[in-house]
Amino acid sequence: MAADASRRAVLALVAGGLCLALAMAASLLARTGALSTAEAWHALTGAATSSSAHLIVWGVRLPRVLAACACGVSLAVSGALLQAALDNDLASPQVMGINAGAGFFALAGTLLFPFSGVARQLMALVGALVSTLMVYLVARRAGAARTTLVLAGVAVSSLMSAGSNAIVTIWPKTVVDKLAFSLGGLTGATVSQLTLSAPFMVAGLGAALLLAPGLDLLALGDETAIGLGLDVRRHRVVAIVCAATLAAAAVSVCGMLGFVGLMVPNLVRMAVRCGLRWGLPLCAIWGAVLLVTCDLLARVLFFPYELPAGLLLSLLGAPFFIMLLMRRRRPR
């Protein structure tokens, strides 16, 4: 990679690290209700006198911040993988119906196996893969895989969302907060959920890093990539499965959170013109920054009321999606 692009990537990585540290600190120490920033700091450093402060910081805020980081990383990397594998900057786990599929199957898992977190996790993975397969088959049948992929995703997403809505309507006790689940948010994120999802996230991220150099070749077109020694079909399938795994792991923790996987990879590409070897770590860190910040804002903007983080992301993401659509129509 050219030296100036490497410099920009390193700068963006350092800036992302600083922003993430700030966002995490703000999220852990924010003054809300009876807990002041100083009390939160004392609780964090182990000098708290009040057990409730300790419980809020260590039992509620820290798991929530960690969950926001993990989900932000997973969703952003998932989006980057999909966009590279399909050579389509509109692709993302939400747009392609992967989130909705994982959400529907996770709800079905909760219904069928109410005491098994592992079953819920595996069902989310199956749902993500089923959605991906459906989108792929519909797009392939339609004859123009890349251009119709997004539309096929919208159709499959609607179908899966209808399934989720049916479950929460017929069995309303399946999810404690159905609005938070469908919009996406971290209100109910727990350490146990995160622990169950973590192996899938780690495996997905590891595989993504190994896939990155090959995915960069896909930007040159399939024929050129094959000529350079890439097994294009296998690489593409593995990348999509990896993206679905990451999205499913995130959805199990934070519900059907949208637009992280769409916005972050596109913004990273606009800011730093680099391949995925740098692009994936950048997406990971800025995905975490975005979600931790949105979660913090969702908590404090209208305190004592709390917005689902997914609502804020939709407010940011929907105009961004429209901007991408308009940019694609302009001649280059």
Stretches 13-21, 51-59, 72-80, 216-224: which one binds other proteins (CB under 8 A)?
216-224
Nearest to 284 by CA among 186, 209, 183: 209
2 near other proteins, rule: CB under 8 A:
yes
Residue span 266-285 as binding mask against other proteins, x where in contact by CB under 8 A, dash where not: ---x---x-x-x--------
Read off the amino acid at residue 255.
G
Report which of 76, 7, 4, 63 is spatially closest to residue 247, judged by C-alpha positions.
76
Among 227, 303, 315, 323, binds other proteins (CB under 8 A): 227
- Could you say whether residue 145 binds other proteins (CB under 8 A)? no
**Is the CB of 95 or the CB of 217 nearer to other proteins?**
217
Q: Which is nearer to other proteins, 5 or 154 (CB)?
A: 5
Residue of 45, 144, 223, 329 interacting with other proteins (CB under 8 A): 223
What are all long-range contacts of 314-322, with beta carbons under 8 Å and residues at least 24 apart? Answer: 314/183, 314/258, 314/259, 316/259, 316/263, 317/258, 317/259, 317/260, 317/262, 317/263, 318/259, 320/259, 320/262, 320/263, 320/266, 321/90, 321/95, 321/259, 321/262
Q: Which of 52, 169, 192, 224 binds other proteins (CB under 8 A)?
A: 224
State which of residues 51, 115, 170, 332 lies at the interface with other proteins (CB under 8 A).
Answer: 332
In the chain, the amino acid numbered 194 is L
Of residues 230-259, those binding other proteins (CB under 8 A): 230-231
Strand partners, 32: 35
Interatomic CA distance for residues 18 and 211, integer angstroms: 27
Binders in 191-210 for other proteins, by CB under 8 A: 210
**73 or 218: whose CB is closer to other proteins?**
218
From start to end of 34-187, where are the E strands?
none
Of 329 and 332, CB closest to other proteins: 332
> Per CB under 8 A, does 319 bind other proteins?
no
- Distance between CA atoms of 54 and 50, rounded to whole angstroms? 7
8 Å CB contact between 6 and 274: yes
Residue 22 or residue 202: which is nearer to other proteins going by CB?
202
Return the CA Rg of the chain: 20
35 strand-pairing partners: 32
Q: Per CB under 8 A, does 10 bind other proteins?
A: no
Q: Is 4 in the site for other proteins (CB under 8 A)?
A: yes
Q: Which two tokens stand for residue 204?
A: 């997905």
Instruction: Please identify, among the stretches 117-125, 128-136, 189-197, 219-227, the one whose residues bind other proteins according to the rule CB under 8 A.
Output: 219-227
Residue with Cβ nearer other proteins (166 or 202): 202
- Residue pair 268/283 in contact (Cβ under 8 Å)? The answer is yes
Residues binding other proteins (CB under 8 A): 1-5, 210, 213-214, 216-217, 219-224, 226-231, 269, 273, 275, 277, 332
